[in-house]
Homo-oligomer: A and B are copies of this chain.
Amino acid sequence: MKTVTLKQIAEKLNISVTTVSKALKDYPDVSKTTRQRVLDLAQSLDYTPNSFAVSLRMQQSKTIGVIIPDTVHHFFSNVIKGILKEAEKNDYMVILMQSNESFELEKKQIDLLLSKGVDGILVSLSNNTKKFDHLQKVINYGVPLVLFDKISKTLKCSKVFIDDRKAAYDAVTYLINKGHKRIAHFRGDLNPQNSIDRFLGYKQALLDNNISFDPTLVYMCNNNADFDDGYKNAEKLLKDHGNTVDAIFTITDLIAIGIMKYFDDHGIRVPEDIALFGFSNWFMSSVISPGLSTVEQHAFQIGEESAHILFYEIKSKMNDTPIEHQTVVIPTEMIFRESS
Contacts and interface: CB of A to CB of B under 8 A. Distances in A.
A77 B81 contact: no
Contact of A77 (B29, B63, B73, B112): B73
A187 interface: no
Interface string A61-79: 0110000001111100110
Nearest to A226: B283
Given A58-B26, A71-B77, A287 B289 contact: no
Interface stretch (A91-99, A136-144, A198-206, A319-327): A91-99
Interface string A242-267: 00000000000000011011001000
Contacts of A113: 93
A261 B287 contact: yes
Contact of A97 (B73, B93, B260): B93
Interface in A27-45: 27-29
Contacts of A62: 116
Integer count of this chain's copies in the complex: 2
Given A77-B72, A287-B261, A116 B18 contact: no
A116 B97 contact: no
A92 to B, nearest CB: 10
A84 B72 contact: no
A58 B63 CA distance: 18
A80 interface: yes
A267 to B, nearest CB: 13
10 contacts: A27-B58, A71-B71, A73-B77, A93-B116, A94-B96, A95-B95, A96-B96, A227-B283, A260-B287, A288-B288
Contacts of A112: 93
Contacts of A260: 287
Contacts of A18: 27-29
